Structures are given as C-alpha cells and as structure tokens.
Amino acid sequence: MVIRQLTVGSMAVCCYIVSCPQTKHAAVVDPGGDEERILAEVQKGGLDVKYIIATHGHPDHVCGNRRIKEATGAEIIMHSADAAFFWQPDIQHYFSMLGLEPSPAPDRLVEDGDIIEIGKEKVLVIHTPGHTPGGICLHCGKDLLTGDTLFVGGIGRTDFPGGSHQELMHSIKTRLMALPDDTIVWPGHGYGGKQSTIAEELKTNPYL
C-alpha cells in the first residue's frame, strides 16, 4: 500500500491518501480541510478514489468529506457506532460550535474485523473506542493508521462527549500494542511527530 500523508485544515489533521500501486484505486482517510490540495494530490498520482474513510466522526476529521465525495463519487465509510452517535441532534449541536462542516451520512458502515479492499490491498478495520464510540484504526501490512486513538508520544483526548479514558487505554493496550513491534504508526495529528512504530511507542510514550 502506498501512503501519502498531508497535514490539512485549521486543526492540522493528518490526512492520508492510501492507494494500491497496481490498480491505482485509492481511499482518502480523514480529509479535514484543504480539499483542493487533497484532490490535486489525487490527480497528480493518477488515482481513482473509491472510498473516503473516517477514523472517527469529529468534524475536524470529516469536514472535507462532502467536497471529496462530490469530486470523486467515492463512498463514505464510518464505524456504525460513530454514525449513530454523531447523528444525534444534541451531539450535532455540540460539535457545531467548532464551526466545521459535518460529514454527509456514510454510505457504508463497518465493524471490527471488517476488510476494506482498495484495489488489491486489504485494509483491516480495528475498532478502538475511547476517543469516540466508533473510533477505528486501519491496518494493512506493516502500516497502521491510528486516527486520534494513538499519537506519537501521546493519546487521543477523552473529554469530548462520547469519550472514555478507560476505554481508550483498553483499546490501545489490547488492540494496538499487541501488533508487531515494527508496525508503523501513522497518527491523526502530528503533535509529537508524524510517524512512529509500536516498539517506539511502547518504549517512549508516557501514557503507556
């Protein structure tokens, strides 16, 4: 799988364009702004975007979904728990205070253990609740896109509605830290760095 990391939007989200080198099929993960820049990268790579994948439903990670969908016709994918949670009127009202556009309704809901096929690449959905009820990480080969579950040297915040520190730590320790040491961590924000490994996080992350 080919991974292109872009820092986008007002909240410096790490957006990813992941693609199959053989078919040029691609997915855009967490388009949190700067949609024209994302689309320019897609065009430059000659990619055919099939999916827009949300690691979670917070507006800073999904505010570009509508524009990318309109431009590419891609399906929006989200975990079922976040789809249910973020479409509650009171939750929508709370997050509207951020001033960012919410995502259109997802076209496809996923659960833990589901596989998203991007060309010949198979991406495993790992449900990691805690930052949000339906937060997911995406695992393919040695690559792990962690969204706001795990950062380089940090973890996702849990003080927003739907967050749970206990759930988040359980997700990280039982699901992510069980992966091979050489697994590459691609975080949802580059607060402590834009890339790491499971081994490095086990060694240096103060929360672990």
Cα separation, 207 vs 150, in Å, equals 10
Residue 92: alpha-carbon gap to chain centroid: 19
Indicate the residue type of 177.
Answer: M
Mean pLDDT across the stretch 146-170?
Answer: 97
> Looking at residue 97, what is its pLDDT?
84
State the chain's mean pLDDT as an integer.
Answer: 97
pTM of the model: 0.97
Cα separation, 208 vs 177, in Å, equals 9
> Looking at residue 29, what is its pLDDT?
98
Q: Provide, rounded to the nearest whole percent, the portion of the chain with pLDDT above 90.
A: 97
Give the residues across from 126 on adjacent strands. 137
Is 71 a residue whose pLDDT tops 90?
yes
What's the pLDDT tens digit per position in 92-131? 999 998 899 999 999 999 999 999 999 999 999 999 999 9
Q: Provide, rounded to the nearest whole percent, the portion of the chain with pLDDT above 70.
A: 100
CATH number of the domain that 135 lies in?
Answer: 3.60.15.10
What's the pLDDT tens digit per position in 165-186? 999 999 999 999 999 999 999 9
Cβ contacts of residue 36 below 8 Å, gap of 6+? none
Place of tokens 């339906």: 134
Reduced to 3 states (helix: H, G, I; strand: E, B; else coil), residue 40 is helix
63-77, 83-97, 116-130, 180-194: which range is least confident on average?
83-97
Cα separation, 43 vs 153, in Å, equals 33
> Total domain count for the chain?
1
> Looking at residue 98, what is its pLDDT?
85
Structural domain including 159 reads: 2-204
Cβ contacts of residue 33 below 8 Å, gap of 6+? 8, 9, 10, 11, 13, 60, 63, 64
- The secondary structure of residue 104, as a DSSP letter, is P
